[in-house]
Amino acid sequence: MIYFDNASTSFPKPYEVRRAVEEALAAVTSHARGVGAGTAAAGNLLYDLREAAARFFGADGPEGAVLTLNATHALNIVIRGVLGRGGTALVSGYEHNAVMRPLFALNRTAGVRILPARSRLFDDEAFLAAWKRGLGESPDLAILSAVSNVYGWILPWREAARLAEKAGVPFLLDASQAAGHLPAGLSPGVSFLAAPGHKGLLGPAGTGLLILGPGIRLPPLLFGGTGHDSASRDMPPFPPERFEAGTQNLPGAAGLLAGIRKVESLGLSSIARYEASLLALAREELAGEKGIHTFFAGDAVRQSGLFSFVLPGEAPEETAAALAEAGFAVRAGLHCAPDAHRSAGNPEGSVRISFSCANTPGEVESLVSFLRERIRKKTATEDAPPSKRDLQ
């Protein structure tokens, strides 16, 4: 199998991650709230993960790193926390359902302003002008993906965050497709950052992070035991315990910590350059190829290591099925982001190819060869004269 579905979850997981999960299952007890060597190890593990995550994303300290089930969980904490009692949100037209569904679930109390950019090529200047106008309507929360999960386009999140800060609007960055691939963190204007553990951070499924800016106060999303001030009926007043009801996923935490350390050892800039080289190879090989519509950014530096395409006249699911039969793991459809497809003028969906540092140039060449052959066969069939049976 040639695995090109890293935007869904990274694969294969590094040996260090697999080993960390196994060791945690063998040596760490199920919770960090007790006495004894096992619970001490659990407490140390969670602290080490918070410290690593805070360092990686630029939080002030480990208390600013909340452990979540995934990025969706982290996004819900912020969206419900800020807008649960009413208000409005400003979002791009490229957001995942992990953002859009929580917002529309609050449609009786919260309004949503969506800024689509109806172009096959994302236009930073036009988007930021519209974003600034949207901020002028004084929303209660602004939300933006660092990278489109459909097209790989790097959205101008740093500029958008600074504009939000200037307008006095809290800014939530969805780093689901940036974390572990590109630099993303609590840069000026970013109030909250949500990241999954199982994508670019190379950790196991069922892990994620909410990174909080300094002085952030939100109501909790979940309520329950934390091991702190158990006599109180209320959740602890301070993060991270305020947002972490119940027993944590300790094997997952061990794997996520190992994943972050692996990314740091490889070097984020090295990962970004390597994945950009794979994208550049695909872009160069497919440039000018007739019979395929690719959604590459106008400026190559504005795109991460993933892209989408369609073969005209063929459903994306049909293309993906043919790729799967040939040994390629890809993703097809709307990718849980229908607004992104509408915004790019591609409502029927697409086939998505997403790279990681585990992929090779040879694998990219194999993909290109397969697509060229499929396009050739499809074109030959369409150009063939009608048979005698067709005419009867």
d(CA 83, CA 81): 6
Measure CA 241 to chain center: 24
Q: What is the pLDDT of residue 123?
A: 85
Q: What is the pLDDT of residue 360?
A: 98
Q: What is the pLDDT of residue 346?
A: 87
Mean pLDDT per 10-residue interval, the chain, length 392 residues: 98 97 82 55 92 97 96 97 94 95 87 74 86 95 97 96 98 98 96 98 98 92 80 82 89 97 97 98 93 93 96 96 97 95 90 97 98 90 57 51
Among candidates 127, 139, 129, 143, which has minimal Cα distance to 167?
139
d(CA 43, CA 53): 15
Q: What is the pLDDT of residue 35?
A: 45
54, 77 contact by CB (below 8 A) = no
d(CA 354, CA 199): 11
Q: Which residues are registered as beta bridge partners of 303?
A: 153
Distances (CA, A) of 75 to 11, 86, 101, 243: 24, 17, 11, 12
Instruction: Using the structure block, give the residue that is written with the tokens 């794979």.
Output: 278
What's the pTM value of the predicted model, to 2 decimals? 0.92
- The DSSP H or E segment spanning 209 is strand 208-212
Provide CB contacts within 8 A for 104, sequence distance 6+. 112
Burial 316-350 (b: 16+ CB within 10 A, else e): beebbebbeeeebebbbbbbbbbbbbbbbebeebb
In three-state secondary structure terms, 108 is: coil
178, 200 contact by CB (below 8 A) = yes
Q: What is the pLDDT of residue 115?
A: 84
332, 338 contact by CB (below 8 A) = no
Measure CA 252 to chain center: 18
Domains of the chain with CATH codes:
2-8+267-381 (3.90.1150.10), 15-266 (3.40.640.10)
- The DSSP H or E segment spanning 132 is helix 124-135
360, 174 contact by CB (below 8 A) = no
